[in-house]
Amino acid sequence: MSKPEILVTDRFIPVVLDGLNSAFVTHELWKADDPEAVLSSVAGNIRGIAAGHTIPFNADFIDRFPNLEIIANFGVGYDNIDAAYAATRNILVTNTPDVLTEEVADTAIGLMIMTARELSASERWLRAGNWNGPYPLTRGTLRGKKLGIFGLGRIGKAIARRAEAMLMEVSYHNRNPLADVDYRYFATLTELAAHCDVLLCAAPGGPATRHIINTDIFKALGPEGMFINIGRGSTVDETALIEALQNETIMTAGLDVFEFEPKVPQALIDMDHVVLLPHVASASQHTRDAMGQLQVDNLTHWFKNGAPITPVAETPWPRS
């Protein structure tokens, strides 16, 4: 029996490329000098796609593949894929949840501490040879502070558990309250921001959350407030964030994601008290290998057993 043909859009890590090349006939788009020519020649044969984040999987792109059965995304976020449209064509979409939850939660807590205590700035200060006297006392602290989490999913809950161990009060905002947690729920993001000292975004991207964190939210958070984002950059109006930081509407921010990655606004780079990370929340070899293996497993499991392992919410697949 011939191997299924799949399209590989990105230069993935070895565990992904090795796994895919052993199980499938692969067409590696990222290698092509003329990607359009490759797509035109193989689109009719493609039954699966190993998707990264370099190509927007909109309806027009998806429709180029008449025999497509599954899009396996690398990463838990899949706002680059129109999963709802894929569902209308009975195309499965999978992502890689759970395997990165704890790593991202660790990074979120680390970023929050770095931001509150100016750890990045103080290290730069030391390296610049300025330790002739004590580093100025930091205005920020997490002692006695209230953490508000926007997006209490798998990752949000893992962050909340860690914050509880730090003796922080935890509250949250989702579209609806959750039955399996005791944290205080706020029906609106504005109410959550007004209540908390640290607003942490762990929400997904997409049209429903685009720029949901805006001027009004920063005003509600207030001049002693700290904003942390390990969710998606598209959730934040970056112009409003820059203005809030420049005008001291909020105290500081720690960001692992940005709206137009890898482009980071120069105004943010110029702010020494703001902590900026290059989207590294899940970026350990251990965790990325686990994510890659799950991406491969979703594809191999589908073609071998006729079932996805981790289908996304929009995918037309029976839920247990």
Give the residue numbers marked as catalytic.
232, 261, 279
Q: Is 217 helix (H, G, I), strand (E, B) or coil?
A: helix
Name residue 71's beta-bridge partners: 49, 93
Report d(CA 69, CA 49) in Å as an integer: 9
Query: How buried is residue 61: exposed, middle or buried, by Cβ count under 10 Å (0-12/13-18/19+)?
Result: middle
Under 8 Å between Cβ of 10 and 74: yes
The strand ranges marked E within the chain are 5-8, 25-28, 46-51, 70-73, 92-94, 146-150, 169-173, 184-185, 198-201, 226-229, 252-255, 275-276
Under 8 Å between Cβ of 13 and 33: no
Main-chain phi, psi angles of 134, to 5 degrees: -70, 145
Report d(CA 35, CA 33) in Å as an integer: 6
C-alpha dist (Å) from residue 262 to 16, 54, 145, 276? 23, 12, 32, 12
State how far Cα 301 lies from the chain centre: 25
